[in-house]
């Protein structure tokens, strides 16, 4: 009987939930769900000067939007300072940690000197065997790393990684102001929270041997580790604002579906044969570290956009109708609080979803269905609303007005007969009508468009288009 899987996502609230953090959270979430384990959220806010409550909220909001719900937490490390201090005291009593009276300035100076003379900038251990306190200095607490031997990290993704202990610094675990530091709190919390698998970014691999020594000093079992490859920007440097939007919620704003982002993120580093699109259930079922890659991946917004368009195409229009509502308001297509008939909206979306890559785009193309009036694109107007089309438009208007049936099929018959009568191509009529009804030259099939716009608005817009055309013979 193996113990229950427990994993955690442990962001520090010094910014919004970003792409890299979201991917780490996602892999934790999938691993937990796959194994019927627990997914825990822990806020690592021991750096009080950089952490804010606002960012804690932002992180929770981002995870909620992505549907990465946790089973326990959020826990905050600032609520647990007493716990950390008791562990520190224990280590000091047992001689596994010691007071260090070197000031930050001295340390900085020594490091600078070491670097300048090409030496390793390592703590020289001068307080390691101190017997007496140094008066006038408030000490920090350092953890004793064994001077020799090796530490082996057995990583689920990297395999066996060996570190020489003499390369490892005696790290500070309690600052002179009495607050604990990351490498210590992470171990204490993972122990207290009974974390079985530590799944985190590659950037923590080098911290792992130090943490292993802390586990050992405390006498606890060492969890399994899985270090995920990084996500980089287009220039192969760490993903940052320079590469465009990095905050997860920015993708909400841009009209992305959370499942599309999740699908994109999971394929950065993980694969399942040639499959590209996965439902949430499939992800949970298929996810394993066996097919997580080792190499860093470059974030590619184009592929994310494609995936988003796929998710929009395959989402039920009723669902898209709900999702697009805030964007209709934001794009000022409907007023705040204004409602819209969802059945009609869904039908409109049926025609639009395969040409919308984002909800923002979808909202904007819905504009000509919803608005009372359309504005013409100048180039389109000049090209298609002219003397040649005027006659056709007049005839169409009259036909439509005189025929009670306004269905897709009825419209097709009307169009065909006008086209045949004048010996022109369908497009010679369809394009001017398209401009008259939508204001532009791109839209779904013209019969569908008219059907959704409705007879009344269609006639009104045709009338307006006809009037717009200045006829040189009758100025």
Partner RNA sequence: GGUCCCAUCGUCUAGAGGCCCAGGACAUAGCCCUCUCAAGGCUAAGACACGGGUUCGAAUCCCGUUGGGACUACCA
Q: Least distance from C-beta 303 to RNA, angstroms?
A: 4
Residues 327-346 that bind RNA (CB under 7 A): none
Binder of RNA out of 54, 86, 109, 120 (CB under 7 A)? 120
Annotated catalytic, 241? yes
- Contact string (CB under 7 A) for RNA, positions 351-380, x = contact: ---xx-------------------------
Binder of RNA out of 70, 230, 261, 385 (CB under 7 A)? 230
Q: Least distance from C-beta 468 to RNA, angstroms?
A: 20
Residues 240-269 that bind RNA (CB under 7 A): 267-269
291 makes contact with RNA (CB under 7 A): yes
- Contact string (CB under 7 A) for RNA, positions 183-212, x = contact: x------------------xxxxxx-----
The answer to whether 312 touches 277, Cβ cutoff 8 Å, is no
Nearest to RNA of 47, 391 (CB atom): 47
Nearest to RNA of 329, 424 (CB atom): 424
CA distance 110 to 256: 50
Q: Least distance from C-beta 269 to RNA, angstroms?
A: 4
Q: Least distance from C-beta 323 to RNA, angstroms?
A: 18
Catalytic residue among 4, 64, 194, 241: 241
144 makes contact with RNA (CB under 7 A): no
Q: Least distance from C-beta 149 to RNA, angstroms?
A: 14
57 makes contact with RNA (CB under 7 A): no
407 makes contact with RNA (CB under 7 A): no
Residues classed as catalytic: 241
């Amino acid at each position: 009987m193996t113990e229950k899987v427990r994993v955690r996502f442990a962001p520090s609230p010094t910014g919004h939930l970003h792409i890299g953090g979201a991917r780490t959270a996602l892999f934790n979430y999938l691993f937990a769900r796959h194994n019927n384990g627990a997914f825990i959220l822990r806020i690592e806010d021991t750096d009080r000067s950089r952490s804010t409550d606002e960012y804690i909220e932002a992180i929770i909001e981002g995870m909620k939007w992505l549907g990465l719900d946790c089973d326990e937490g959020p826990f905050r490390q600032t609520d647990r300072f007493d716990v950390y201090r008791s562990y520190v005291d224990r280590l000091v009593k047992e001689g596994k940690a010691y007071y260090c009276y070197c000031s930050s300035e001295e340390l900085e100076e020594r490091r600078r000197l070491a670097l300048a003379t090409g030496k390793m900038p390592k703590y020289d251990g001068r307080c390691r065997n101190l017997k007496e306190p140094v008066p006038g200095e408030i000490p920090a607490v350092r953890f004793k790393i064994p001077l020799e031997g090796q530490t082996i990290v057995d990583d689920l993704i990297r395999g066996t990684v060996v570190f020489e202990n003499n390369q490892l610094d005696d790290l500070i675990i309690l600052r002179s102001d009495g607050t604990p530091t990351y490498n210590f709190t992470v171990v204490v919390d993972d122990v207290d929270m009974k974390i079985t698998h530590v799944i985190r970014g590659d950037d923590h691999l080098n911290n792992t041997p130090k943490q292993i020594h802390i586990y050992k000093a405390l006498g606890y079992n060492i969890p399994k580790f899985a270090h995920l490859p990084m996500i980089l920007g287009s220039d192969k440097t760490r993903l940052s604002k320079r590469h465009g939007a990095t905050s997860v919620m920015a993708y909400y704003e841009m009209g992305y579906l959370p499942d599309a982002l999740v699908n994109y993120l999971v394929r950065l580093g993980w694969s399942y044969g040639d499959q590209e699109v996965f439902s949430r259930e499939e992800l949970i079922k298929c996810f394993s570290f066996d097919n997580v890659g080792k190499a860093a991946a470059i974030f590619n917004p184009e592929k994310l956009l494609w995936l988003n368009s796929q998710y929009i195409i395959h989402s039920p229009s009723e669902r898209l109708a709900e999702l697009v509502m805030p964007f209709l308001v934001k794009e000022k297509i409907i007023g705040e609080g204004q409602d819209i008939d969802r059945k009609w909206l869904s039908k409109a979306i049926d025609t639009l979803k395969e040409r919308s890559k984002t909800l923002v785009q979808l909202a904007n193309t819905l504009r000509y269905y919803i608005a009372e009036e359309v504005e013409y694109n100048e180039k389109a107007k000049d090209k298609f609303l002219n003397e040649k089309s005027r006659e056709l438009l007049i005839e169409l208007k009259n036909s439509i007005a005189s025929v009670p049936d306004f269905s897709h099929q009825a419209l097709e018959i009307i169009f065909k007969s006008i086209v045949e009568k004048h010996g022109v191509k369908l497009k010679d009529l369809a394009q001017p009508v398209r401009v008259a009804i939508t204001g532009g030259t791109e839209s779904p099939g013209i019969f569908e468009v008219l059907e959704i716009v409705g007879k009344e608005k269609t006639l009104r817009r045709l009338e307006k288009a006809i009037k717009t055309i200045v006829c040189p013979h009758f100025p």
